[in-house]
Amino acid sequence: MLNIKNYSSYHDLSLEAAQYIYGKIKPQIRDTGTYNLGLATGNSPKEMYTHLLRLLSVSHLDLSNFHTFNLDEFYPVLQTEDRSFFQEMFHEFWQPLYDGNQTFNFAHGHILNGEKNDIEECTRYEKLIKELGRIDLQILGLGPNGHIGFNEPDSEVTSRTRKITIAKSSKIALEKTYGTIPEFGITMGIGTILEAREIVLIATGKSKKEVFQKLIKLEKPTPEIPASFLLNHPNTSVHTDLI
């Protein structure tokens, strides 16, 4: 069952979600010194990241063992290309985080590399997540067709990090933000995502409303809506302004 938190505006959603996530990070960093945060790209979490970065900047936490893991990346794509998720995260998360708290290590901002052999890169990423002890909290956005990461409809619940073909509807939506994009992506699988200790799904935007209404009415998962596999996760909260 999904724990749904509804807000009256995108601003309120973003602020409250940031405070919620920070409330998870702060005590664990103080207790253990480590935290593994899973990140999503796109418009849904943008304002939330702004608030979260502000909180992390004024916290005086030691972030030397704070790691981030991005869900996905276009494939193939150079990390120097403006359309890459690497560039988006560098400018919108890692650099601002370092500017506010210089204990953060840029080498701990992890993302799939769209320049590498896809099979070897996906294997490396899975291994790295396991070596660092799983993801503590994974942030997700909701796609207009119910995708999470690049896990399109009919993805299997057991799927691992892999190369996929981006669905036509997803490609059209993404190109409004990123311009022309590759045919493929590399993404954490549904199975990989579900291994996170906690998941926060941010559902916002008019284009997501129809699939979100279907999602919250489901009693069990269906491959037609990949986000519905979150029903199998014991610790998932949904932050939305769509109700």
Please name which of 60, 29, 82, 74 lies closest in space to residue 187, comparing C-alpha atoms. 74
Stretch (H or E) spanning 131: helix 118-131
Structure tokens at 106: 């840029």
In tens, the pLDDT along 82-121 reads 999 999 999 999 999 999 999 999 999 999 999 999 999 9
Task: Domain ranges for the chain, please list them.
Answer: 3-132+142-192+204-240
In tens, the pLDDT along 199-239 reads 999 999 999 999 999 999 999 999 999 999 999 999 999 99
What would be the CATH architecture of the domain defined by 3-132+142-192+204-240? 3-Layer(aba) Sandwich (3.40)
Q: What is the pLDDT of residue 1?
A: 76
Residues with catalytic annotation?
72, 145, 147, 152
Q: What is the pLDDT of residue 209?
A: 98
Stretch (H or E) spanning 226: none
Please name which of 71, 85, 84 lies closest in space to residue 159, comparing C-alpha atoms. 71
